[in-house]
Chain A
């Protein structure tokens, strides 16, 4: 079986996979990182979104072997070791941007990429367009959009994160 070596949440891993193993299967089944969800089999829901070398991608639509040498960041890699949440996670909590939570890891990963790539600012419309690849069955999106706008302020240093 082929071997794939990559960095996941800052840690180097080398794993044996089949050529057909998907990146999401590597993360969930081989590495036990079950925070990355699978919500569809048509590449449309975005629940499986992770960062690959800093870009949001659907880990259900990529072979694990395609991630050879890459840096992958999953929802588990966001909080600090002491448990302090990433500002995006904190704002999702504060603005009630989740109900069942199924879509949330993918939403958070897409949102962080979107905010990172738009230091100049983000309009509500851009946030909504930026979430095109993520579906939520519960929230109606409004609070997700609010959470992302609030996280933008913190991530780009316009506002301090609320002290825990």
Chain B
């Protein structure tokens, strides 16, 4: 690992100040993506700004929103009785990210900022029409994800929390796990809530997470696995790699979507 300077500011304003002054500085959340990257010397930040002391961890529920702080680890979301009650599919998704050790450190903010094309959270955030709040503004999920490892975040912008609109009537996530890494080879989140019926797919798109409007229309008319059984996402634009061809991923999308609809009940 190349060396860097380490800071653990006690206020959001101080964290933003360090990051804004130095384009080579990076935030550090759970480190479950960033530290492996640094160990491989794939990245050479000048400074790491640890977000752990900014009070950004925690889960709040109001009648109109479930709000999760950016530094909330996956394990806390998975175990939260409030999340399980309000949006069961979200708690379930968190409980299948990586492994227990990764879930104890990895955070929702880090996962979203990273926007790995096979990460799980982007599917939930897009399907539930969540809002990403940062130190300076609010960004709708539809505007946030802008392609592989690319988001609407400006340099130095820090995610502070994610608000999921309530009430959510139905929610479920089904993931076909890449057998070695446990990331999603294809993951589908289906939801029916204040933003309507939405279906989001991760792991499959060359440009990261995407919605499937044909499935959304069919499910809005009739919520059942059968109503989407004949809907296929074209393999054009899907990922093809050693783990599976684009045609295989296209097939998996329909299978995972049907299973998710069945699971949501």
Interface residue ranges, A against B (CB under 8 Å): 2, 18-20, 22, 41-44, 46, 49, 52, 55-58, 60-63, 65-66, 68, 110, 113-114, 130, 132-134
A52: min CB distance to chain B, Å:
8
- Tell me which residues across on chain B come within 8 A of A41, comparing CB atoms: 36, 39-40
Contacting pair B105 A61 (CB below 8 A): yes
**In the complex, residue of chain A having the shortest beta-carbon distance to the beta carbon of B99:** A133
- Tell me which residues across on chain A come within 8 A of B104, comparing CB atoms: 52, 55-57
- Tell me which residues across on chain A come within 8 A of B28, comparing CB atoms: 63, 66
B167-217 residues with Cβ-Cβ distance < 8 A to A are 180-182
Complex partner residue of B35 from A43, A56, A110, CB under 8 angstroms: A43
Contacting pair B2 A110 (CB below 8 A): no
Contacting pair B4 A43 (CB below 8 A): no
Q: How many A-B residue pairs have CB under 8 A?
A: 78
Complex CA distance for A22 and B32, rounded to whole angstroms:
13
Selected A-B contacts with CB under 8 Å, 22 pairs:
A18-B3, A20-B2, A20-B3, A41-B36, A41-B39, A42-B36, A43-B36, A44-B180, A56-B104, A57-B101, A57-B105, A58-B102, A61-B102, A63-B35, A63-B48, A65-B6, A66-B52, A68-B8, A110-B100, A110-B101, A130-B100, A132-B99
- Tell me which residues across on chain A come within 8 A of B8, comparing CB atoms: 65, 68
Contacting pair B100 A133 (CB below 8 A): yes
- Tell me which residues across on chain A come within 8 A of B147, comparing CB atoms: none
Q: A46-B99, A66-B52, A114-B100 are in contact. Are A61 and B35 (CB under 8 A)?
A: yes
A104: min CB distance to chain B, Å:
16
Contacting pair A19 B3 (CB below 8 A): yes
- Tell me which residues across on chain A come within 8 A of B101, comparing CB atoms: 46, 49, 56-58, 61, 110, 133
A159: min CB distance to chain B, Å:
25
Q: A55-B75, A61-B32, A62-B31 are in contact. Are A19 and B100 (CB under 8 A)?
A: no
Number of interface residues of B (CB under 8 A): 29
B93: min CB distance to chain A, Å:
15
Q: A55-B75, A62-B31 are in contact. Are A43 and B3 (CB under 8 A)?
A: no
- Tell me which residues across on chain B come within 8 A of A130, comparing CB atoms: 100
Interface residue ranges, B against A (CB under 8 Å): 1-6, 8, 28, 31-32, 35-36, 38-40, 48, 50, 52, 75, 98-102, 104-105, 180-182
- Tell me which residues across on chain A come within 8 A of B32, comparing CB atoms: 43, 61
Q: A44-B181, A61-B36, A66-B31 are in contact. Are A20 and B105 (CB under 8 A)?
A: no
Contacting pair B4 A133 (CB below 8 A): no
Contacting pair B4 A132 (CB below 8 A): no
Contacting pair A132 B100 (CB below 8 A): yes
**In the complex, residue of chain A having the shortest beta-carbon distance to the beta carbon of B40:** A41
Contacting pair B31 A61 (CB below 8 A): yes
Complex partner residue of B105 from A2, A62, A132, A134, CB under 8 angstroms: A62
Q: A41-B40, A132-B182 are in contact. Are A62 and B35 (CB under 8 A)?
A: yes
Complex CA distance for A110 and B99, rounded to whole angstroms:
11
- Tell me which residues across on chain A come within 8 A of B182, comparing CB atoms: 132
Q: A19-B4, A20-B1 are in contact. Are A66 and B100 (CB under 8 A)?
A: no
Complex CA distance for A60 and B36, rounded to whole angstroms:
9
A49: min CB distance to chain B, Å:
6
Complex CA distance for A52 and B101, rounded to whole angstroms:
10
B79: min CB distance to chain A, Å:
9
Complex CA distance for A96 and B53, rounded to whole angstroms:
43
- Tell me which residues across on chain A come within 8 A of B75, comparing CB atoms: 55
